[in-house]
Structure 1
Amino acid sequence: MNKKSRRTLIALIAVCVLPVAASYFAFYVWKPDARMNYGTLVSPALLPEAPLMNLAGEPVAREQLTGKWTYLVVAPSACNEACQEALYLTRQIRTAQAKDMDRVHRIWLVTDSGMPDGKLLSAHEGMGVVVANDAWRERFAFDGLPRVWLVDPQGYVMMRYPDSLEPKRMIKDLGRLLKYSQQG
């Protein structure tokens, strides 16, 4: 076998073996520390079946909360600074999706029987506001702090965001979901 044939054979073997070896290395040895998503993925669970009430006292079925990607802000009616920031950021993140913003919905799940401030509600026009019942409060383990959850268009709760929200990372999360999902 001459040198040229030997080089060709070695190159052919390298082209076939190196990708397989690299994949084994990447899977078993090199484990990246970073996650792609900012929010914490949770075990998908359907929203509770128990009907909610809107602020006018009319029933709201779970099906009315599905069909779009939904930011669910779980907070009491006496919306403190953290709650107001969560409402503001979810509005800005939805707006940042530009042409896809119609695929995103925002809901404020009020965890008590109080009435939210009218000025705050008018500042967040287009946001749904519903009053939680026991089943909903239990599902979202309300502990007094405002929390932001992401619900998929089928009504599955799939992600929870940390207490200190980072809007740029939330925009990336939602943008990625909207890009790769045909739902909503």
Structure 2
Amino acid sequence: MSIKNNNKMALILLVVVFVVPVIMAKFALEYNWFNKASTNRGELLDPTIVAADLLEDAEKKWHFLYIIPEQCDQACENAIYSVSQVKTAIGREADRVNAVFIATAKSDQSALEKIAGLSDTQVLHKEQENVNKVFKDVPVNAIFIADTLNNIVLKYPNTPDEEQAIMDSRDMLADMKKLLKLSRIG
């Protein structure tokens, strides 16, 4: 084999080793050949919901947020329990998190009495119009996580099934711990 052939082979090998992977990566990104990974377990809201009108009276912390409905069914009771338990399960970072329940004039009074008996929770009384304005495109029958700037970023389903509610609580806890680890504020 001549030196000229060796040089050609080296050049071809160089192109194959360095250029082809770059071209393949470009095609993979352009044509979505892979699943984009996300590590959050709740539904990421994009765009986020600006909830400054609802949370203006709340402390500047991360928030678990739940809107008390007119009729508190099993799903509502599971949500109230989940929010209070996850807040407690945060552990040493619990002082950075707030469990906030939004009540309107039509909210179920028995649910509000139950919340009053819980420790480390806050009930904010708001007008129904304010709630409707903030959640204009998103149903409120869910549990939400809001950041320290009062932007709602994650949503978790509200379910009447107790076993599923426990699983959803674990997801909320995992996401909140991750947010607290990554966040320096709140």
TM-score of the aligned structures, taking structure 2 as reference length: 0.70
Determine whether 1:151 maps to 2:146: yes
Range 131-140 or range 146-155, more displaced: 131-140
SS at match of 2:57: helix
Range 23-32 or range 114-123, more displaced: 114-123
SS at match of 1:153: coil
Q: Retained in 2: the 8 A contact 1:48–1:136? A: no
SS at match of 1:65: coil
Q: Retained in 2: the 8 A contact 1:65–1:155? A: no
How many residue pairs get matched? 173
SS at match of 1:150: strand
Residue 50 (structure 2) aligns with = 46
Residue 172 (structure 2) aligns with = 170
Determine whether 1:71 maps to 2:67: no
Q: Retained in 1: the 8 A contact 2:62–2:98? A: yes
Residue 180 (structure 1) aligns with = 182
SS at match of 1:94: helix
Query: Deviations along 1:98-137, whole A, 9 cap, x unmatched?
Result: 3322221111111335634576235421100122203333
The one-letter code matched in structure 2 to 1:106 is A
For residue 13 of structure 1, report the CA deviation from its aligned partner.
4.2
Where does the alignment leave 5 or more consecutive residues of structure 1 unmatched?
53-61
Query: Deviations along 1:48-89, whole A, 9 cap, x unmatched?
Result: 53xx7xxxxxxxxx4332511101110136533211211211
TM-score of the aligned structures, taking structure 1 as reference length: 0.71
RMSD, aligned CA: 3.5
Where does the alignment leave 5 or more consecutive residues of structure 2 unmatched?
160-164
The one-letter code matched in structure 2 to 1:148 is I
Residue 130 (structure 1) aligns with = 124
The structure carrying a bigger helix percent of its residues is 2
Change beyond 3 A, Cα 1:144–1:32: closer
SS at match of 2:109: coil
Residue 106 (structure 1) aligns with = 99
Aligned-partner Cα distance in 2 for 1:67–1:94: 16
SS at match of 2:93: helix
Aligned-partner Cα distance in 2 for 1:24–1:79: 51
The one-letter code matched in structure 2 to 1:65 is A
Alignment of structure 1 residues 25-44 onto 2, 5 Å: 25-29=27-31, 30-32=33-35, 35-37=38-40, 38-44=42-48
